Amino acid sequence: MKDLMEHNIDIAELNIDANWYKPLFESTKLIHHFANEQDLYIFLLDVSNRFHLQNTIVEVWTSEESAADHPLVHKINFQQSPQRISEVFSSGEISQTSMDDNLKEIAIPIKGEQGIYGVLLIRTAYMPDKLKAIFQFLCDEAGKGIEKIKLYTQSKRKIKELKMLNDFVLRLNTSLRFSESLKLLKEHFNDTYEAAEVGFFFKNKELSFELSKESTPFFLSADASFYSQYAAEHFKNVTASIFIGDAQAKIGIEQPLYRTILLFPFLDGEELIGYTILLHPQKYAYKWEIFKNIETLIIHSSLVITNALLKEELEKMAMTDPLTHLYSRRYLNKKIEKSMREDSEGTFIILDIDNFKEVNDQYGHQVGDNVLVQVGQHILQNIRKNDIGARWGGEELAIYLPRTELDAGLSVASRLVETVSIVTNPSITVSCGVSYWKNDDHRSSYKNLFAWADQALYKAKSLGKNKIIVHGYE
């Protein structure tokens, strides 16, 4: 009796036989120990045996498709299910009708505090009022049990998602490089969330947002322009994430390649530094909960990406000259040493601005600095991507051309000497010293390469300036 009261069972109100108290309590207790809905429903099917009911058939109708994996557990379908089942499921009210052979059919909703989860259908010749009281109580307890299962399942899933998020962020933190971080994010979006396309856009020096090379190739195509423009317009005014479940209905695009669009910002504090676009061909491909999970991931990733960008910016500052934005001499030294270990040849050029002191004296140091910048830009416009332009010191600049024969290197130097006076204001000339190394020359070392070019430059200056001297060909 004490146990029954602990479960808030009002015996008098139920008006049942005394020999049903024990199976009722045991059934109530067991209902709250199931870990999944299917087992609970199957247990309800067996309740008639626990109460030793003769000529009684029990069926369960459920809204959960995953639980309907038993001959007597059916999925509720409003178009195909019996009308009485649909009505009871919708209204939450018990329904009782008489059948042939003195049978009664009772349909009882399985409902909890949050909603209705199914219908218990009983066909019996036993006293329907007493059975109705027992099964209504059990169905109410089953509804509470289902809600506990859902809460437990949701908690397990949330714990798993949080662990996955934590593991991924830890992995992201170890990648330190901006490009590596974006690659990891792209792989995660592809593998975990089955995103068909992933686009990354980040703020450049001109303060506009440009596509990152780590994006999927789709974003380089003309078909991607609509999605890219839509995202750009969205983030012009706001920094909030957005979930578009059906691009055709929401935006009005006809026959879109991708129906689901997710947009997420990368924020440094309140400043928008970039954003990402996730696309999926199906409409409403993600539940709201998944959208919020990705949003949480992006928030954590923003800090990692901001740090990676800052680190790379500091590295760039350390290896570049702040005035000309050419590489530093230290960086140039490292690259030449590496090239002399791995390549077979290379050409080195030292370039000196002629009469630079007179430019400073006549026009001032600010104009002199501007001339250095102009010459630096002219160098960058005349060398390849893998070539290295550097500030050597003072008014001297340097160029290293890896895997480049002397004739090709001399051609670059000649082009610079011939055109630099045209592109500078005030117009200036330059002198060049050129040296060359080959791996079959035992004298080749980066120190000798520098010394040879420096000697050649000294000779070019002493011979009247505005000319090129190649070491060994004076």
Q: What is the pLDDT of residues 57-108, one digit of tens each?
A: 888 998 876 666 788 888 888 778 888 889 999 999 999 888 776 788 889 9
Domain 2-153 shares a fold with domain 175-318: yes
| Fold of the CATH domain 2-153 | Beta-Lactamase (3.30.450)
Span 11-17, average pLDDT? 54
- Give me the residue spans of the domains in the chain: 2-153, 175-318, 329-470
Tens-place pLDDT, residues 164-214: 777 777 777 776 678 888 888 899 899 888 999 999 999 987 888 999 999
Place 3 in a pLDDT band, splitting at 50, 70 and 90.
very low
Cα distance between residue 33 and residue 27, in whole Å = 10
pLDDT value at position 285?
93
Determine the 3-state secondary structure of 313 from DSSP. Answer: helix
Residue 9, pLDDT > 70, answer no
Q: Are strands 73-75 and 56-62 parallel, antiparallel or unpaired?
A: parallel
pLDDT value at position 474?
62
Q: Are strands 271-280 and 260-268 parallel, antiparallel or unpaired?
A: antiparallel
- The answer to whether 387 and 409 are in contact (CB under 8 A) is no
Strand partners for 398: 350, 390
Of 401, 415, 414, 393, which Cα lies nearest the Cα of 449? 401
Burial of 399 (0-12, 13-18, 19+ CB in 10 A): buried
pLDDT value at position 276?
95
Cα distance between residue 130 and residue 14, in whole Å = 8
Q: Give buried/exposed letters for 201-217 (b at 16+ CB in 10 A, else e).
A: bbbeeeeebeebebbbe
Q: What is the mean pLDDT of the chain?
A: 87
Which ranges of 127-224 would DSSP assign to H, the alpha helix?
Answer: 128-174, 178-193
C-alpha angle 13-19-22 in degrees, rounded to nearest 5: 80
- The answer to whether 357 and 461 are in contact (CB under 8 A) is no
Which is the CATH superfamily of the domain at 175-318? Answer: GAF domain (3.30.450.40)
Within 8 A by CB and 6+ apart from 294, the residues are 189, 193, 262, 264, 278, 286
Neighbours of 187 (CB within 10 A): 12
- The answer to whether 431 and 467 are in contact (CB under 8 A) is yes
Neighbours of 92 (CB within 10 A): 12
Amino acid at 268: D
The residue ranking higher by pLDDT, 59 or 442, is 59
pLDDT value at position 73?
87
Tens-place pLDDT, residues 120-170: 998 887 776 777 888 888 899 999 998 998 888 878 777 777 777 777 777
Q: Where are the beta strands (DSSP E) in 394-439?
A: 396-402, 430-438
Place 352 in a pLDDT band, splitting at 50, 70 and 90.
very high
Question: Range with the lowest mean pLDDT among 213-222, 254-263, 435-444?
Answer: 435-444
Name the CATH architecture for the domain at 329-470.
Answer: 2-Layer Sandwich (3.30)
Question: Range with the lowest mean pLDDT among 174-188, 219-233, 389-403, 407-421?
Answer: 174-188
Cα distance between residue 417 and residue 249, in whole Å = 62
Determine the 3-state secondary structure of 126 from DSSP. Answer: coil
Cα distance between residue 27 and residue 134, in whole Å = 11
Q: Give buried/exposed letters for 325-364 (b at 16+ CB in 10 A, else e).
A: ebbbeebbbebbeebbeeeebbbbbbbbbbebeebbeeee
